[in-house]
């Protein structure tokens, strides 16, 4: 491989890597903003006293039925089924206006949050005629914050690799005819570029699953 060809290979690989890094940056920014947005939404829509706002998922629905009936149905379903695949819950308080619950294993330490992905939740009922407004807030575990922090760290490492790899190629590999074929090894920088995608996905997934579970649980209450 001549020097011109090797130079073209390094530049092409670096350009593709730069696009991948910029895309990873966009993914991390979006994931971080989503978590902050839930905090803002929680503070505006729901009183989450005693809960850290970051990572709190909120939602609401207008349902047919009286508050005391829907509250009793929710408590019964939570006591029996928990939050489905996210594990059992412990009901802390229950009356006609509110149901408060928490992850059943949360007193066992931080590891107890690993499977469930949530800490505690509160569902409130406000009746108006034959219909009831249901507002819920569920606090997710701190695992999302940790994963996002790791994602930003790996993004920084990816930028370093994006700069260091071509510099090493141009400084030490391309000038040596016996090593120019190793120009293709610039592609190894990919090992520093893909982790932010995975970490952002893992950080966002619990919140999406909890929201879907709560939406199904709340909207199905009139038919329980």
131 and 57 in a single domain? The answer is yes
127 and 189 in a single domain? The answer is no
Give the number of domains in the chain.
2
In the block, tokens 């939050």 appear at: 83
**pLDDT tens per residue across span 155-177:** 999 999 999 999 988 888 888 88
Q: What mean pLDDT is predicted for residues 169-198?
A: 88
pTM over 0.85: no
Q: Judge whether 217 and 74 are in contact, CB under 8 Å.
A: yes
Strand partners, 137: 58, 122
92 and 168 in a single domain? The answer is no
In a domain, 53, yes or no: yes
Q: Residue 190: pLDDT above 50?
A: yes
Q: Judge whether 94 and 76 are in contact, CB under 8 Å.
A: no
**pLDDT tens per residue across span 91-145:** 999 998 999 998 886 544 333 444 457 788 889 999 888 899 999 988 887 778 8
Which tokens is 167 given?
Answer: 């510099």
Q: Which residues are within 8 A (CB) of 134 and not within 5 positions of it... i.e. 6 or more apart? A: 60, 61, 62, 63, 70, 123, 124, 125, 218, 221
Q: Which domain holds residue 107?
A: 46-144+209-223
23 and 122 in a single domain? The answer is no
The CB density around residue 104, as the number of other CB atoms within 10 Å, is 16
User: Closest by alpha carbon to 61, among 48, 70, 69?
Assistant: 70
Q: Which residue has the higher pLDDT, 151 or 109?
A: 151
In a domain, 95, yes or no: yes
| DSSP tag of 189 | G
d(CA 59, CA 214): 8
Q: Residue 51: pLDDT above 70?
A: no
Strands (E) across the chain are located at 56-64, 89-94, 98-103, 118-128, 131-140
Average of per-residue pLDDT values in the chain: 84
């Amino acid at each position: 491989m001549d020097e011109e060809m090797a130079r073209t290979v390094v530049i092409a690989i670096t350009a593709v890597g730069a696009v991948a890094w910029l895309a990873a940056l966009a993914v991390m920014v979006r994931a971080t903003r989503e978590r902050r947005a839930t905090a803002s939404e929680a503070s505006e829509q729901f009183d989450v006293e005693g809960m850290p706002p970051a990572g709190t998922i909120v939602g609401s629905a207008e349902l047919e039925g009286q508050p005391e009936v829907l509250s009793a149905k929710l408590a019964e379903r939570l006591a029996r089924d928990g939050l489905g695949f996210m594990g059992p819950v412990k009901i802390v308080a229950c009356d006609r206006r509110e149901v408060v619950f928490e992850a059943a294993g949360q007193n066992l330490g931080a590891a107890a949050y690993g499977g469930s992905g949530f800490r505690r939740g509160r569902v409130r009922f406000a009746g108006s005629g034959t219909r009831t407004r249901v507002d819920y807030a569920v606090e997710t575990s701190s695992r999302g914050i940790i994963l996002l922090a790791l994602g930003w760290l790996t993004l920084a490492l990816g930028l370093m690799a994006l700069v260091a790899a071509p510099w090493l190629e141009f400084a030490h590999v391309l000038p040596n005819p016996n090593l120019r074929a190793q120009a293709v090894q610039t592609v190894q920088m990919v090992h520093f570029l893909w982790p932010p995608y995975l970490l952002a996905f893992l950080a966002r997934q619990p919140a999406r699953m909890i929201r879907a579970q709560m939406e199904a649980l709340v909207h199905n209450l009139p038919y329980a």
